[in-house]
Structure 1
């Protein structure tokens, strides 16, 4: 069987795998259905000829980096074929951001239409994971004799910083690759050498709670939170816009730091209570 025939067969096999992956809602935060995903992926990778092992990230590591999600176990799936060096490592994250609104299809039900797959994670990056698996599977089926190891790591938590995903994979010494390919959705004709970084924090505003019928007895934390948030949007954004990366970006706007105010808002009790606490990200 020619290389093209093997790839064509594996493409259809990979499409079926992608549909299964999309249907597992690995939403992060907080980190749901992780175990179901790695178990499913492990089965698929073993079918492709890989040896697999699942590592649970220690709870204390999760609590250190993401205390709000310590009750949601994190897992790393490591698959290998071959032995020795060089180790060519494919790395993909299986967590996805919440689906949000505005979908024309069910976000966790893969739909193939017009040569495209629609569903949460189809691009970022369960599609990339499957592309790596199909590429590796096709290689090992058409190159039975080669020196080295093909390794695939499926990791959690890239969407919140990656400390308990790829960060733990490396710090715990689970993988020491020679070459790494990360099939993030950067386009089929682009190869990039890094990612933009992230720094997340919450701004907390404390007031004084009171009954809604006597607001003069309280201090409305929401009203003050709005003022603080406005300062971030008006003043801090200007500070960021004065900075610019020296690297090349596919979209020039990516070279300038950005701020996302209000991705998450916390606080308030009930409609008839003056809020004594509010916070925004």
Structure 2
């Protein structure tokens, strides 16, 4: 296997250049900018390396359903297939998303410059997760150039729209619905999200994203007693959440390793708030969105009931309290066993490379839910070289040393499973 490691070292300059190229394509989602440019780049790269490639574009009539934040822009899934010495063998699917979140504030580097400074490559997507896509390409290329024989098939998939989640989506969810990633066709899936070179992702928290709107009664600002102030009602509701629910959540923890480290707790975050139209009018509406993250021991039904209990308590305290409640994204947690074949191979390879393997779940959700929960493929892990803590941050970056180490590890995993 020294041949594989040596090939990754020889490919180092090309690996770094390819990640720079990808970072310089601003595939911001929402709404889904420059997807076509990235599609052409990735497809051309696979074509040059001998893959049989196809593009699965989401039909225009399905865009509003599968990409509701996409403003009607096209959604492309790139699929590349490469066979070993013999096609008789296992099929391993490598999966990563090419969309990135908006830039935000606080950057001191060009977000789409791909600058290399002091051994770090900077840019939006450098860690989350164009580094994973680069690792996918060059792990396979190192295996191919090593001269070692392997059997079966490797499928490269580069997908959009992971960052905007959804109960369904135009990326991995769509590939599952179309049968590209299915239990009868694929034996193993490795999703190259950033879990660091020694991290093995075996799941993620559950989630409920929702919206609560308090309904009041409009009145002149000089005569507040004639109205029902929805903003004040919402403030009281949020106070009750802080008194009666948040302390319970802060006492719930998991014994599983979670990335980032501080995310071992059950959480509820209110992320946006909007109330009223202008000064001098008692507001008749106030709206908040919330983000509830569930530990594997919790259920969607239980988490929903806890929020409902606070709404009921608010109603008991003030009979004028009226509200609307809706959810726009829910997912159960994902948790696969540490002893599934791909996880055991990953553990062995990481140890062989001198690192201490660490099984993890992530605080967020990712496309593993589609593979495990929808496609029913349990033999699925997250393995990618970036750091979760760098995701969505200003001055996002990846250590080039981690990029190369992660590529070596993935290449060795592939060989062990396909040799």
Query: Structure 2 length normalisation: TM-score?
Result: 0.58
Deviation (angstroms), 1:223: 3.9
Deviation (angstroms), 1:275: 5.0
Residue 288 of structure 2 aligns with which residue?
A: 280
Which of 91, 114, 117 is matched with 1:87 structurally? 91
* Contact persistence 2:234–2:286 (CA under 8 A): yes
Residue 410 of structure 2 aligns with which residue?
A: none
Which of 110, 116, 121 is matched with 2:120 structurally? 116
Deviation (angstroms), 1:121: 1.0
74-83 vs 266-275, greater mean Cα deviation: 266-275
* Contact persistence 1:233–1:261 (CA under 8 A): no
Residue 173 of structure 2 aligns with which residue?
A: 167
Residue 249 of structure 1 aligns with which residue?
A: 258
Aligned ranges 1:47-126 → 2 under 5 Å? 47-59=48-60, 61-64=62-65, 67-69=68-70, 71-82=72-83, 83-126=87-130
Name the CA distance, whole Å, in 2 between partners of 1:248 and 1:220.
Answer: 44
User: 1 or 2 for the larger relative contact order (CA 8 Å, sep ≥6)?
Assistant: 2
5+ long unaligned stretches in structure 2 = 290-419
Residue 194 of structure 1 aligns with which residue?
A: 203
Name the CA distance, whole Å, in 2 between partners of 1:245 and 1:59.
Answer: 42
* Contact persistence 1:49–1:137 (CA under 8 A): no
Residue 193 of structure 2 aligns with which residue?
A: 184
Aligned ranges 1:1-80 → 2 under 5 Å? 3=4, 6-59=7-60, 61-64=62-65, 67-69=68-70, 71-80=72-81
Tell me how large the CA RMSD over aligned residues is. Answer: 3.0
* 1:125-172 per-position Cα deviation (integer Å, ceiling 9, x unaligned): 111111121111111222474311111111222223263122221122
Name the CA distance, whole Å, in 2 between partners of 1:156 and 1:190.
Answer: 24
2:270 aligns to what SS in structure 1?
coil
Count of aligned pairs: 279
Residue 259 of structure 1 aligns with which residue?
A: 268
- Alignment CA distance shift 1:35-1:274 (3 Å): farther
Q: Whose strand fraction is larger, Structure 1's or Structure 2's?
A: 2
1:38 aligns to what SS in structure 2?
helix
5+ long unaligned stretches in structure 1 = none
Deviation (angstroms), 1:274: 5.8
